[in-house]
Structure 1
Amino acid sequence: VMITGDYLNTAVAIGKEIGLVRDGDRALTGAELDQIDDDDFVDMVEDVSLYARVSPQHKVKIVDALKARGHVVAMTGDGVNDAPALKRSNIGVAMGITGTDVSKETADMVLTDDNYASIVSAIEQGRVIYSNIRKFVYYLLSCNMAEIMILLVALLAGAPLPLLPIQLLVLNLLTDGLPALALGVEEGDPDIMDQPPRPVTEPIINRDMVIGIAVQTVAISLAVLAAFQIGLEAGEAHGRTMAFATLSISELLRAYTSRSERYSLLAIGVFTNKWMQWAVLSSLIVLLAIIYV
């Protein structure tokens, strides 16, 4: 959508030149906007491609109408008159070179090179960072919940503790930490820019993640408790060592399965994140050193 203070004919000509406006697209002027009720404008806002001779109040009205239709609205501007709409939009984008100080202070994003193409790169990087934060949380929660369930089941059953406090400390600081950090440098899913914007109210841990955490918690807990039970035949120390080794390896494998929420490990490539390979290798070395040294 193109919004400008220029005259209508000038705005249409510029819009066609840059490819934002085509023949037959609907255009409105600020004077016409004043004659339209807010509720009626919300119903028709998606049909309008160009606005000319608009004031700062008109720009805010357009942003509010688009948000009322459920859109995530990004607004670009460089002048003082753009500041109200920049603030009201979901993402305000100001020009770093030609923009005024007021617009820069109001905006959420400042284009230091005044190049609109930078917006695409910024959005992609933002999505990758947010996705990696979710993977980080997803991985650590599923591992930590499994550790809690293992101890809780043992306590309720009146059995010896499968893991000692020092073993849990080693797991959280050494074994889990490196793979979790490696998840923070994932490149993101191949179609991350084709995905629709996430709902503004969506929590970082959504329903699918809760289900995944529950499934992984149960699976890891059962494997560790089974290993502990088998190892108990040779004594508690042997059982705890088997439980510790099983939990460590399970959590390292879990790090690989946390690398994407939408794609399988084979689809994104097992070895595409070199930092994950080094993290897992380092954790395995620590595990072997603890058990055998």
Structure 2
Amino acid sequence: MKIHQFSAEEALASLNSRHDGLIAAEVEHRFKEYGLNQIDEVRGESLLLRFIKEFVHFFALILWLAAGLAFFAEYKQPNGGMATLGYAVLGVIVINGLFSFWQQYRAERAITALQKLLPHYVKVVRNGELEQILVANLVPGDVILLQEGDNVPADCRLLEAFSLRVNNATVTGESLPKARDALPSNEEHLEHSRNTLLAGTSIVSGEGRAVVFATGMHTEFGKIAHLTQTAEKSVSPLQLEIVRLSRIIAVLAVGLGGVFFIIGHSMGLSFWDNFIFAIGIIVANVPEGLLPTVTLSLAMATQRMAKRNALIRHLPSVEALGSATVICTDKTGTLTENRMVVSQLYLDKQLLTPIAVKRQPELMQNHRQFFEDALLCHNLKETMRDGQWQALGDPMEIALVRMAKTCLGETLSYPKINEVPFDTDRKRLSTIHQTPKGVVLYCKGALEMLLPLCDRVKIGADITTLNAEAKQGFIQAQETMASKGLRVLAFAWRELNQAHNSEAQEQN
């Protein structure tokens, strides 16, 4: 069995750990065995070797040969101008090699971006006492405490979880935060388990206690970093074409030089005159400007992509991307930016944009509770940065709050007095607030989960019975939105009496 399939007690036992953490002697022993909890760089080719390779590829060798022939011709016939051509060819080789090496070296430094995703300090329980230590000093078996806003420092198995949700986008690409608990999982794969937290991910809401079972390069995050450093280098279509073109040019240049050498010999010219003339023909047929032109074009493309936060490790990869016919990729954070906006609202049996709603004050006032629901029913952490409001948490909730504030034109701050947390079974979140009208429950979630709980609907300024026709209208609106690729949420609210902790508080 795998650690996520064990109970919390069994998971601790499998790591020879306890709820009150490891003792100092055991920490020291494990630190020597597992090393630092950090992403290590795989030792590859030395900088010197990579630098040399930029000057000895096939086309560069042709240019070296052309420069050598030019200098040889100048040696045999001084003041013939061949030395100038030789220096020009050498300049092309040096500038192109230096530029290509710098671009690759700068891209290699991107590995440090992976290390920045790991926090520097973490709260850990050792020998029954809570300490704050460097993340690099964590070892398997350590018991750590995590809360909203923390980054996960290592692969962990949850021991306790309270309304815990985690953002796994950095590891799995999933945009929606996932609920986590401490119960044993039947999942086969670790990344799909509800009781594990992976290094490099972040806690969106809630808090928990977990035991570390993998650190450093042994984590799923570390394996991803290892793959990025050890991926096999393949030859791009552009490189293949340049090699093919270089061979053709080499054959044609040498062939033409040989033909003119034979012609000169048949005309009775001396051997050295013929030879120098043939060298001139060979050098003249080598396109010295091809290599810097290609390099400059690719470099300009990489700069444009860098402005869009796409880092190119090897210059030819730009052209290889353009040659792709099929791309299989996860869309979140790749084809999209993991930012969300509200694009459509279903109010009064019609689909409207938020801008259209804002232009209709009467409609907005009739459905004020809807916008209050969108504004208040969330688990965001609100902060001020540079004098501006900023929310941390689920991108979908951030989008809803921004939409509500825009439409209402004001910020409400009704105190939250209770909450029924979201989970994958309920598929909804409910928050209870003390408002000027009394205690109100605001709820949002999947339409198929909220619709059976409701018996009334607000149309215009009136609250009417939610009949079959109205239900069908909601279902049809959901299908219309979903067909456009939109994520659909339903909202509901009700007033509560003071005894609002009953199981039926979300009914009607």
> Normalising to structure 1: TM-score of the pair?
0.31
Q: Return the structure number with greater helix share.
A: 1
Q: Return the structure number with greater strand share.
A: 2
> Normalising to structure 2: TM-score of the pair?
0.20
Whichever of the two has the greater Rg, that structure is 2
